[in-house]
Amino acid sequence: MAGVWYYTGMVTTMICALLVASSKTQRCGQRMVVNLLTVNGTQARDGNWPWNAILFSNDNESFAYRCGGTILDQNTVVTHYDVSNYANDIALIRLRDRADITQSNVKPICLPVTKELRRQQFYPLHTNIVVHE
């Protein structure tokens, strides 16, 4: 079961990464590091993936790792963490404190917004399913 969540998270992150726009004037989706090659398992450095997030919970004065996520804006992270015990969930997490996206290594990912997307209708089919018309 853990493998399913790993791959769900990877797919979610990959989809978000593929949606990154290439415009230099945008404040989202911009990486500090330009080299796209991974050689001999080189570790990621600060700024390589500034939209990646790690979510912890504060339980009894200690922090516990919960999951990874993707920064959508200074208030919101999308994640694959199973917060509601449904299969194949993703969750939108509202942050208690705003993310400081003025830092060079903390940036939101870019998602496409077009006139066509704004005009389309979405409606809930079930508590964890959204259908596009």
CATH superfamily of 29-119: Trypsin-like serine proteases (2.40.10.10)
Contacts of 109 (CB under 8 A, 6+ apart): 16, 17, 19, 20, 28, 29, 51, 70, 71, 72
74 token code pair: 């200074």
Rounded to a whole number of angstroms, the distance between the first and last alpha carbons of the chain is 31
- pLDDT tens-digit profile of 54-82? 888 777 778 888 788 899 888 988 887 65
All structural domains of the chain with their residue ranges: 29-119
Reported pTM: 0.56
- pLDDT tens-digit profile of 20-59? 433 334 567 666 656 656 666 667 777 788 888 888 877 7
Is the backbone of residue 122 left (phi > 0), alpha (psi -120 to 50) or beta?
A: beta
